[in-house]
Structures are given as structure tokens and as C-alpha cells.
Structure 1
Amino acid sequence: MLVSKNFKLDRNQSTLDFLDVHIDKDIQVFVDPAALRSLKTDWGHHCVSLLQNYFDTVLTSIRNNQHAKARELLSCLSERNEFHIGYSKGRSRGHALGPISAANIWASLVKSKAATTGLLQDLEDTILFVDGFGPDMLSDAVCNIIRGPLIEYTQQSCLYYGIPLTPDVSSGPIWNPLSEEWEQSLISLPTTKHGPLIFIPKVIARIKQTYGSDDYYRHFLMPVLQQHHKDINSSLVHVLKSKKNKGVKKVYKKDLYEKYGADKIASAKLTNEHPAALTNYKATKKSQPSHPLDHIALAKLENIPAPDFSALLASVTAVQPGKAGATAYEHAIEKLLSALLYPALSFPVKQDEIHNGRKRIDITYVNTSKDGFFEWLSRNHSASHIYVECKNYGKEIGNPEIDQLAGRFSPSRGQVGILVVRSVAQKKTLLQRCKDTANDSRGFILVLDDADLKTLIGQRQAIIYGAGENALYQQFKALVS
């Protein structure tokens, strides 16, 4: 039973911003710290700050020989079932740190000296150097550390999608970066017969963690060790005698494994001696950020059909033009765009208030794109948010509608918007008005009518969308040319 079915949301994963998990068991995805770091949003920055603050507090306690405090900080990452992600079979159990595993992790941190030498800098480094700390445990630990922001996200999602909240539910341990302590309180959360739920934005879910101990040891640390032994001409160096490679020095990885071992303690010791390997590893991973799961991957994980874009468009075109259908039209457009423009645009807000409530924006999205048109847009223009105005008109769109959307822009919020309309009799004239707005430095407005939405759907289904050369990109080029 998925969350969407349990609460009768008339939506599935494609039109939901949060991960549509099962209410009684886990789906095999993880929250990756690297995914949070690549999320260039205020919410993402807040989460990363919490992770760093918590981990620094743990490491400082160990370095100051405050081991009881360190064990207590670790043990508060207790196993809980609200997230419903990970490797658990059957009913969700969680794999975060309980008292026993916390003591083991603490012992491994101390034994490897990773905590006291400055080798560990980020929470995800533990996967590389701390025995017993695997992908599932890291994901659950991350979820617990950012429990506060996830609770706020869950409450906002419930209001957005009409999910009932149950009052006076235990929050579980919430990390307070000011007091550097865990705190608990009674809060409101969605609940089922299996317990409370805390939602996770689907843009931060991954099939696997970015960091991996085997990947690091084999592909980054080993080459550094091979070169080191060549430089010192150690006994592990073999000089090839074949005619083709005569005189070439070779160091075999199997010999290095036999000499040093291949566990995480060995990896930590060797990395302290050869820090360039870790520097290269982190730089490589940062330059190759993982991407959010696409619709097909999510559908396979949840055993549901792929998004039906045609049905979503049909819901839009079924609304009769006119004021009476304005709310239904806005609702249908949000469902379509949330599916069609994912994962580039996320965290939707309807009727978003600005200027102390004097102005409202029909739909506001956060630009979370990693590639394609919206990523290019964020690099070259003020586009941290994308604003959508929905006009269920059966008449010509003119300057008032253009000026209304342009009035929502600002350098800090973003200066790109989408005006969604039913049809345009004089489209060339309307696009020229949008170009005039851009030339006057009042922002960039893209116009989509029913026919344009159909074109975008066709382009996405033809895998043209990912390259950025879609109808939105073409229209934007026309604005600035």
C-alpha cells in the first residue's frame, strides 16, 4: 500500500514531489549526502549544514576524549520506521545506529584513527573508512540528522496534497545545531495503522550512494600506491621482459592487497600516508554528481505504470475555458508540469504569496536541474525559481497578463516564468510582447498553450527533452536573439 493509495490522493509518483513509499515496508532507495550537497537550494543548504554540524560535534568529542558524549550522540541516531526506505525485508525496521551499533561505530572511529587525524571531514567519508558503516546505515543516519527539515517538508506536503495530519505525535530526536544536542517534542505528522510517516523529496533519493569503499580503494587509492612503489623501486615492482613491454615497471594490485590488506582500517591508514588519493576521489565525485531517479526507475521500484502524459494532458484540455474552470485548470496544469518537468523543477507551491501577501503566484517551482535547459538557465540567468501563471482563457492574452507575471520577478527570487494559456489567436504578437519584456530587463516569459504542451510531451517521450533542445529552449532563444 503506497502513501498515495492509502490517502486516496488521485495521484501517483509522477505527480507527487515526495517519495511515494509503502506505508508498511521499505523501497530500496537511499538518501545520498552528495545528492543533498548538489541541491543548490536553501532547503538543501540547511540540510548540509545540519549534517556538517552534527558530524563535527561527534568528531570534536572524540578528539577531546569525550567518548561517552560521542557514543551518546551516535546512539541517538536510533532505528525508527517513519521513512520506509532501505534494505529491510518485510516490515520496515530501519538500519540506523542503535546503542550497540553506535558503540561499534565509535570503536571503529577510534581504532582507525580516522576521527583524530583529520581524515574524516564529511559524514559520507565514514563509508570509506569506518567498519560497519554501509550505504543503508549512512542513509538512515542522514535522514535522522535532517529529521527537522524533513518534518517541515512533510507538513508542507500534507497541506499541499490534502493529507490529514495527526497531532501530538513524537517527533523523534531532532538535531539542534545551536545547542548541539538532540531534542524531542510533540508535533503533527501523517499517520497510518503502521505508524507515523516522514516524507522524503524524491529528488534526493538514489539507488546507491555516491561514495563506495571498494570503488575508492580499487580505482583511486590503489593507483597512487602503485605509483609510490614504482617511485621508490620497492620489492613489489616487476620489470617486464617481453619484447613489446621490455623494461616497463609493473606493480600488481594483488600484491598490494596481500601487503596492506583491503579493509577500511587499512584504507584509512594508507590514505593518511597518501592523501592525494582522497582529494582526487572527492573532486571526481563532485564533478560527476548523481542524478535523481527518473520516472521509469521510480515506476519499477514501486511496481506501478510509467507516467501517462497523454492522460495528464487530457485532464487539462477537458477543462472548459473560462473563469468557472480556473481552479480545476490550475490543478490539472500543476499535475502535468510536475510530471513533465521533473526532475528539473521540484518543490511546487500553489498560490505562493509575495510582497506580504499582496501578490500571489499560481505555481512556484524550485529549479533543481542537473542538466538540460533549466540547468543552463540557472547558470546564465537568475532562475533559482520558476514561476507559472495559469490563464484558462478562451480569448486573446495581452499586456496585462504579461505585466502580471513580470511583476512577480526579482533578482533574488528569479526572473523566469511560464505563462500557460489555452490557445493564442495572435501568437506571434504575444511572443513579441514577451521579447519586449526581456529587452526591457523585466524578465523572461515563456508561453505554452495546449498545442505547446502536446509538443513538449512528444519531445520528452522521444528523449529529446534531456538534451535541452526542446520547445522551451527554442522559445527562450527567440527571446534573447
Structure 2
Amino acid sequence: MIYFTDIFEADESKLNAYGAFNISLINDLPLFIDPFLLFGSSKNEYQHLHEDILRYIAFLKERSNGGDIPMSQIIAWYVFPEIKQNWLGYSLVGNRGSGLGKKFGKSFSSSLDFLFKDIGNETISVTSHIEKTCLFEVGIGRDNISDLTCNLIKNYLLEYTQKFSLENIDPKYLASVKVEKVYFDYTLERWMPGTFTLPVLDADYVLLTPKDILTKDDNWINRGDLNAKFNEIYSAIPNSQLRFEIENYFKQNLPAPTPNKSLSDKEKNEAISRVLRKYPEIIDYFIKYKETNKEGARRISNEKVDEVYNLFIKNTSRFIELLKNETPFYAISHINSYSEAMKRVEFMKTVIEDMDGYRLFYHKGAPIKREADLQIIYRLTWYATDYDVNREVNNGRGPVDYTISKGSKDKTLVEFKLASNSQLKKNLLNQVEIYKKANKTESSIKVILYFDDSEYRKVVSILKELNLSEDKSIILIDAGADNKVSASKATEH
């Protein structure tokens, strides 16, 4: 019982036809709403949502007074909780996030006059975009924009979920829920509550999100692309004098050339930051460039959403079925957390190496590249256990992937690593020993996933160098699709 359709007994084909993403209700999945997909959509309802967002930004700008506003207004207009009920994002544990607090409110309010000085009267780009805040160094990042967008379209998401739920979910799973900060009343200048009939789990409501406004990794308008295409963007500026001034200032801010040493990305990006502060109109030309490729934004976001679906829903569901049908993975109950965690890792190893479970870790023929994805998969498979499974617990010395525990005296730390991790040696040498001290436990398991012979040889060499070759708590798992190393070879560790 992991996904929305499982828990609320909804028809998955109807959810897909409705256009909603089938979220996990165990842990956040790495997706978020990209406001550009609202702007770039052919759907009138999405375009209206984007216009509503800009209307609120314009209101804030009008009231910002250069950022010199009382804290009471910041709390009333800028502070929002993270909407954890959509189960999307990069939450470290479950679906909890930090939301938008006073620090965000101060930073955002003080930058409005600078960032949105021409809102509603744009001369270069077609319209304003709140993603502009991520292009300047004003202390506002992608996660802030995602949380703000989600809050500003909250009423739509609530109505969207309510409509599907009333038509497709048994009333026993539904409840009338009063929700705070649903819509903004411009006459009263305050956020207003609303009441909706929604699916409820563990005394909290659940929200659905349309797939076609979701993406993964980064917004369509993002600083990485601006840095990568900086020369292309300013070279296309029609004003020749401005173009020359920008190019000249950019060159002045680059470090002096050094023989046999090429310019680093860090040095180039620092020079770009200085140019943007002096010539902020470059941002508008970059946004105009992005606006001309709405179809590209939709295509790439669709590919990313499909990737998340295939990895965390389609493939993970198949993996769980293998664990359930071919092993006692969900039936074991050992006397301590170390024994249970180790046995489950061993069952996962068997399914991955001997029962084609390795297919879970591939998308379009390529293996996964993020350890965070591996960790989410592990959490999803642990949905049935008497033990407490916490991801990225930070007890003062840095986060560990998982703590498996039953009470304060029985804890096991489980670390997941990809063999391709360039910091693997350092992690093996330092990480888990530090975590063991911080968490007051002597039990730890290190799981390393490798995809080919070269990665296997790399891991074996590191273990030998660190005198860890005989460490039974280090488990190597062969997830290679081609020329797999035999299971007997891999079980040496």
C-alpha cells in the first residue's frame, strides 16, 4: 500500500485519464511544479493561473515600499507552509519540508522593486516570470519558487483533487476539510480559508497534481542554462552599443589568462554574476529566448515526469512484487534492527542479481545516476515493517541515508552508495563511523550498487586499500545489465 490509487482504492486508469500523477504516500517523489509550464500551456485554465500569480506579485510589489515593510505584513503576505499534502519535492523524511518563512519573506520583499520593476509593462520578454528570482543572487532558490507557486495555485489544486475524489473514490476515504490560505481577497488584503471534500490519510488531506505542470531537477528558466548560454544570449541583443558594453565588461571581470590553465566554470560564472548586476536587462533577453521554446519545455518536462513514473512507480512496483512473491522480505521479523535490516538487504541483493530485479535501476537503457533515487527506492520497499525507518536523520554530525530503529536502544544505520560516486573512498573511510558515534549505535550496513566490471574493480580496490575486504557489513550488489558479474563473486562482501 504505497501509492494513491492503492490506498484509496482508485482506478489507476481513471487517474491517468484525469491527468494526475499517482503519488507515493510513503515518501516525496522528486517532482515539483514549474510555473513556466503554466505560462507555456495551451490550456486557458493554466494561463489564468499564471496571470493570477503575476497579479499577486504585482500586489506585493506595490505594497513592498522597497522592502521596508513591517514584519506583520511579511507574515501575512509572504510566509507560507510547504504544501506537504501533494507528496512532491525533495523532503528528507516523509513529506515534510520547511516552507516559506520570514527569511524568505524579507529577501523576496526587498528584491521586488529590482526584479519586477516593469511587471505588467514588459518591453523585452512577453511577460514577467517569478523564476527571475532564481537568476539573481538574492537568496531565493528553486525550492522557494516551487513552494510559492504551489501556494499561489492552491485553490486550483484543491478543486482539482476534490473533483476527482467525489467522482472516483469511496466516500469512506473522504472528509470535509477546512484549509487555510486558499485564495487571496484583494479587497480585504488577506488570505482566506476554504472547505473541501478530500481524501484523508492519517488525519491529513491529500492533494493531486496534474502531470503536465510537473518537472524534475530544475525550472525551464534557470541559472544553469543562463550561464551555459550567456555568450549566445548577449551576442543576440539587437542594441549594438549595449552588446559591446556587456562583452567588454564581461572580459574585464574575467581573471587574467594564465599559461597552460584554462578558464574554470566557477571563474566564468562569477564574472557573469557581476555582469548581471550591472546589466540586469540580460535576464529579460534570456527569458525571451526561453519563451520562444514552449514546446521544448513541455517535451522535456514530460520526459522527466515519465522517468520518475517509470523508476518510482512502474519499476518499483514490479520490484516489490518480486520481493513479495519470491522472498520472505515482508514476512521476516528479527530480534533486532541490524538482523532485520541485513536480511532485507540480502533479499534485495538476491532479487536484483538473480531475478532480473536490476531492471528497476535503468531508464531508457541507462543506469540511475543519483544516490538519492536509490535511497527513495529503498524507503518505498520498506513500507511494511514494525521498525521505524527514517531517511537522512541528522543528529549533529551530518545526515545518514537511513536509521532503522525500534526504540532508542536498537538502531542500525544503512548507507546506500553508487560505485560511480567519486567520493566513495572518503565516504567509506569516514562517514559511517562518524554517524555511529552521533547516533550512539554500533550497528551499520553499507550497500554499494555497481553497474559494470570497472565499477566492481574500483570498489574492490578501495576496500582492499582501506582493509575492509572482510567487512561483512559492506554489501556489494551487481545491478549490471550486460556481462553481469556472478552472484558468487559479488557476495564476497
TM-score where L is the length of structure 2: 0.50
Matching residue of 2:179: 171
Q: Conserved in 2, the CA contact under 8 Å of 1:189 and 1:196?
A: yes
Q: Distance in 1 between matches of 2:314 and 2:88?
A: 17
Matching residue of 2:419: none
Aligned counterpart for 2:153 among listed residues 146, 170, 195: 146
Instruction: Provide closer, same or farther for how the CA distance between residues 267 and 89 of structure 1 changes in structure 2, counting only shifts above 3 A.
Output: farther
Q: Secondary structure at the match of 2:93?
A: coil
* Offset, 1:224: 2.0
Q: Distance in 1 between matches of 2:268 and 2:12?
A: 55
Instruction: Provide closer, same or farther for how the CA distance between residues 16 and 163 of structure 1 changes in structure 2, counting only shifts above 3 A.
Output: farther
Matching residue of 2:480: none
Matching residue of 1:186: 195
Instruction: Provide closer, same or farther for how the CA distance between residues 96 and 71 of structure 1 changes in structure 2, counting only shifts above 3 A.
Output: same
Matching residue of 1:302: 312
Q: Secondary structure at the match of 1:198?
A: coil
* Offset, 1:272: 2.5
* Offset, 1:59: 1.8
Q: Conserved in 2, the CA contact under 8 Å of 1:170 and 1:187?
A: yes
Instruction: Provide closer, same or farther for how the CA distance between residues 108 and 157 of structure 1 changes in structure 2, counting only shifts above 3 A.
Output: same
Q: Conserved in 1, the CA contact under 8 Å of 2:3 and 2:24?
A: yes
Which 10-residue stretch deviates more, 148-157 or 67-76? Answer: 67-76
Q: Distance in 1 between matches of 2:263 and 2:245?
A: 11
* Offset, 1:219: 0.9
Q: Distance in 1 between matches of 2:244 and 2:35?
A: 32
Map of 1:129-140 to 2, 5 A cutoff?
129=136, 131-140=138-147
Map of 1:52-451 to 2, 5 A cutoff?
52-63=54-65, 67-68=69-70, 71-72=74-75, 74-107=77-110, 109=112, 113-116=114-117, 121-129=128-136, 131-164=138-171, 166-176=174-184, 178-179=186-187, 180-193=189-202, 195-207=204-216, 208-220=218-230, 224=234, 228=244, 236=252, 257=267, 261-263=271-273, 266=274, 268-272=276-280, 274=282, 277-278=285-286, 280-286=288-294, 288-291=296-299, 292-293=301-302, 296-305=306-315
Matching residue of 2:53: 51
Q: Conserved in 2, the CA contact under 8 Å of 1:127 and 1:212?
A: yes
Q: Conserved in 1, the CA contact under 8 Å of 2:23 and 2:29?
A: yes
Q: Secondary structure at the match of 1:174?
A: strand
Matching residue of 2:7: 6
Aligned counterpart for 1:30 among listed residues 29, 32, 43: 32
Q: Distance in 1 between matches of 2:146 and 2:250?
A: 41
Q: Distance in 2 between matches of 1:156 and 1:281?
A: 37
* Offset, 1:202: 1.4
Q: 1:174 is aligned with what amino acid?
A: V
Q: Distance in 2 between matches of 1:217 and 1:20?
A: 35
Matching residue of 2:476: none
Q: Secondary structure at the match of 2:99?
A: coil
% identical equivalent positions: 19
Q: 1:135 is aligned with what amino acid?
A: R
Q: Distance in 2 between matches of 1:259 and 1:217?
A: 6
Q: 1:195 is aligned with what amino acid?
A: D
* Offset, 1:195: 1.6
